[in-house]
């Protein structure tokens, strides 16, 4: 995740879960927004820890998953940018789609997150067709 994406989802002073080298998890407080470094990694600093830590080690605190109720336009944009593969609320990859409903040139599909139990509709628009041999 790049700094600009991370900073949309996490704010300084937010309590998060940090996963250490051996898989142990700590609740920590973010101290700064994240920043990108030339090697391509993204770092963030945390209270009580010196230096920067990889943002890949950071995840949402379970209590914050519940309080994040409404998405802002940037979060929706990010969801579409990722082709709808991650829950926009808790970032879980464990999301499930039901069957597709179509009305005119629009289709929608109800998606359920198995991580946080949130539900939403994905919206699709007709863009093209493929001819079939007859």
Identity of the residue, 6 or 53, whose beta carbon is nearer to Zn ion in the bound complex: 6
Q: How far is CA 66 from the centre of its chain?
A: 14
Least distance to Zn ion, CB of residue 116, Å: 3
Task: Please name which of 48, 63, 50 lies closest in space to residue 16, comparing C-alpha atoms.
Answer: 63
Identity of the residue, 63 or 131, whose beta carbon is nearer to Zn ion in the bound complex: 63
User: Are 114 and 95 in contact, with CB atoms under 8 Å apart?
Assistant: yes
Least distance to Zn ion, CB of residue 92, Å: 5
Alpha-carbon separation of residue 84 from 40, 51, 58, 88 (angstroms): 24, 33, 21, 8
- Residues at the contact surface with Zn ion, assessed by CB under 5 A: 87, 89-90, 92, 113, 115-116
Least distance to Zn ion, CB of residue 94, Å: 8
């Amino acid at each position: 995740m790049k700094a600009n994406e991370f900073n949309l989802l996490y704010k300084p002073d937010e309590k998060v879960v940090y996963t250490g080298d051996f898989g142990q998890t700590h609740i920590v407080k973010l101290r700064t927004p994240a920043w990108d470094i030339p090697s391509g990694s993204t770092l963030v600093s945390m209270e009580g820890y010196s230096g920067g830590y990889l943002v890949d080690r950071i995840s949402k605190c379970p209590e914050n998953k519940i309080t994040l109720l409404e998405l802002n336009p940037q979060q929706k944009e990010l969801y579409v940018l990722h082709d709808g593969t991650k829950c926009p609320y808790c970032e879980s990859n464990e999301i499930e789609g039901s069957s597709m409903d179509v009305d005119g040139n629009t289709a929608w599909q109800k998606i359920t997150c198995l991580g946080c139990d949130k539900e939403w509709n994905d919206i699709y628009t007709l863009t093209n067709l493929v001819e079939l041999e007859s």
